[in-house]
Amino acid sequence: MHTPIIAANWKMHKTVSEAVDFISGLKKEEATFSDRRVIVAPPFTALRPAADALSGSSIGLAAQNMSYAESGAFTGEVSAGMITDAGCTYVIIGHSERRHLFGETNEQINKKLVLAFKEGLKPIFCIGETLQEREADETISLIRQQITEGLINISAGDIDSLIIAYEPVWAIGTGRTATPEQAEEVHRVIKETVQEISDKGGTPTVPVIYGGSVNEQTIESLMNQDNIDGVLVGGASLKLESFLNIIRFRASVLPEGE
């Protein structure tokens, strides 16, 4: 099993001072979760102060989005180079809110992924279906399409540094969550599909994390599934105590002693 990945997506929340205060509190507890890969994704305005606050820590820093263009006349956009200059190692690409509120297509998301890898960033590549698509039994075909079209022109070597986040759109910010069994089924298909694309045999190597109203009550059951390697946390990551409780989950799938 992969080292568990616990990522906080703060969306359009937290001022610079709030982000820095949160990170200071998180760093103080770092020794209690040294066996986890923890990532925080503040808004753009807080990235550089967050990077400075994270200095000397193993906690990763992610941007919540980036442009598909390297530079130019794209008012309001932020490039991959700007993100790395601000101190980011990771970037969230293709989040359901970007797809469904802002109309991002698989083609645009692919361009972002290509640029992110070119800049040396590690993408957290989000995929997922709407409630209508799930009820129409289109989940698996849609997921495979999003992966296939999203990873065009990306090398097997770059795919190895990818994190994929499965986030059913109907469970984002709704308080609803896929059952552990529903999530496990899709995670297994994701790993199999990525293996096919990268033309590799054997055990899948790309970590797949779950996003969708993850909280302190659901984390244990989710992480007890064989193919769920971590979580992308939204609202429950905004308060330090609740995020720490999620980070410190104990699950039977972890190796003994972990």
Show which residues are catalytic: 95, 167
List Cα–Cα distances, 28 to 46, 138, 228, in angstroms.
20, 45, 27
Contact in structure between 54 and 22 (CB atoms under 8 Å)? no
- Do 50 and 87 touch, CB atoms closer than 8 A? yes
SS3 label, residue 82: helix
The closest alpha carbon to 16, from 40, 49, 41, belongs to 49
Rg (CA), the chain: 17
CA nearest neighbour of 172 among 144, 210, 223: 210
Instruction: Please name the amino acid found at residue 152.
Output: I
The closest of 109, 108, 128, 202 to 160, measured between CA atoms, is 202
Other CB atoms within 10 Å distance of the CB of residue 13: 15
3-state secondary structure of 229: coil
